[in-house]
Structure 1
Amino acid sequence: MEHRVLVVDDDFMVARLHGVYVDRTPGFRTAGVAHGAAEAVRQAALLSPDLVLLDLYLPDGPGLEALRRIREVAPEADFLVVSAAKDTQTVRRAQRAGVVNYLIKPFEQAELRARLGHWRATRLALDGTRSTDQSQVDRLFPVPGPGRAGGQRAHRDALPKGLSSPTASLVEEALRSAGPEGLSASECAAGTGLSRVSARRYLEHFTAAGRAGVHLRYGTTGRPERRYTWHP
């Protein structure tokens, strides 16, 4: 299943780049591109996107006003803000408007990919079900609590400086998908879009936190390969 994404940015080159990032992320494709608020509303009405990558600085109106208008014509769409705006008032207004995530420009492909992956995972957790349980709800609204998955996540999300929670979720997803064979740092990097050094930092963090295990696989030549497996 591919999720349709509408990219909204006033800069033509930036919009094109974000579209490339989207298309390189498994499970996503760029359904349309708009460079202003009015155009974004028209595109949303035609395309009914699943997700809108929304810039807040648009030539014909504020991005959050465009969000309100898009919601009227595409009520099922979610919104991920990608903007240079980083003042707390704007971030709070975006949060109150119900955006699923907020990414400050400039950013690397892996950061957008991590947030797209997190959004997809939470969406799939609820799609096709008529009722839910606490563990599924905790994926949408993680709250630390004793004995709950939220408490485990809080421990996992106490990340060292330089590591981010969305990227950690992306690495976790890659580890879970690998099964008992596990992943090397190089394989994790290839699957997530991270550099090998960054992938290994996250893998080692999970290992130190007791959420992953590591074993050595010996080849015919060279140093043994470190392989990581997720602990259920």
Structure 2
Amino acid sequence: MTTAERETTTVEKVVQLGVIDYLVKPIRMSRVHQTLADYKQFKQQLSERSTVDQGEIDQILRKAPEKKLRTTPKGIDINTLSSLKQILQQEKLIDFSAESIGERMNVSRVTARRYLEFLESEGLVRLVLNYNTGGRPRRLYQVVERRINHY
């Protein structure tokens, strides 16, 4: 609907009658284009299906935000992970600790360890415990088969 009417009772009434967008004059052309694109997408999504579930209806009517697919788990930033993989690939380290990686990446030892543990869970590095420390074992990591660049 395109109108100069700004009364909330009018907006409420036209929405009840089925209006899916409400444009108040003066109208920017970019807003008109967005409305038309949204309507086209709405019609296309409905034409591609014979039935829909509640989640799809919410998505089509924009009642639910689109889910962004993460490529990494929560707490693992893709850019930081890329930096770590680049270090491991370029420097060809043999036995390295979270502390040494943290220094290279300019992050804390705890953060470096979290990223190394993620890479370990993905099978890209392995944990090796070094018991030749005279105390508790030292956690060292090794790159597995130089597959680090194929993540």
Shorter-chain TM-score range: 0.3 to 0.5
More strand by share: 1
TM-score, normalized by length of structure 1? 0.30
TM-score normalised by the chain length of structure 2: 0.45
The structure whose Rg is larger is 2
